[in-house]
A = this chain, B = another copy of it.
């Protein structure tokens, strides 16, 4: 009886441990895989950072430099440097906003849009594998767990 309880407790601890490590490893593994995929594609000249900037610029949003920099919590100067590279390589275009000529609206070239869609498809495959064999209820549970985590981080960060 007591042994059973202790065994269950030990199993719980072990699961939590696994989840802990997996949570931490997930991102590194995704990043590494993204990088590797890109190396073997026609987008060889892009690194993970640049890929994510292309993704943040998006297909239709016409975001500004400041918006994207804030999203990445990156200084505007740093983003300017990345944008220079991405423009030179033909993924991104800067469009001066005619209504306010201080503002630059960012857009993707057709090459940039292709990269965006390729990356997006990769992520959809990723989530499909993550949710493999799960029904609606299961999916809700996963979603709940991630929402818990976001809430915890948000709240802890606030104070």
Chain A 15-57, CB-CB to B under 8 Å as 1, else 0, gives: 1101110111111111011001000000000000000000000
Contact B19 A150 (CB under 8 A): no
Stretch of A92-100, A101-109, A126-134 contacting B (4+ beta carbons < 8 Å): A126-134
In the bound complex, residues from chain B placing their C-beta under 8 Å from that of A25 are 150
**Given A12-B139, A141-B141: A22 and B146 within 8 A (CB)?**
yes
CA distance A80 to B121 in the complex (A): 39
Q: Which residues of B contact A18 (CB under 8 A)?
A: 143, 146
Contact indicator B141/A26 (Cβ below 8 Å): no
A123 lies within 8 A of chain B by Cβ: yes
Is the Cβ of A142 less than 8 Å from the Cβ of B139? no
Please name all residues of chain B whose beta carbon is closer than 8 Å to the beta carbon of A15 when the two chains form the complex.
139-140, 143
A residues engaging B (CB < 8 A)? 8, 12, 15-16, 18-20, 22-30, 32-33, 36, 73, 123-134, 136, 138-143, 145-153, 156-157
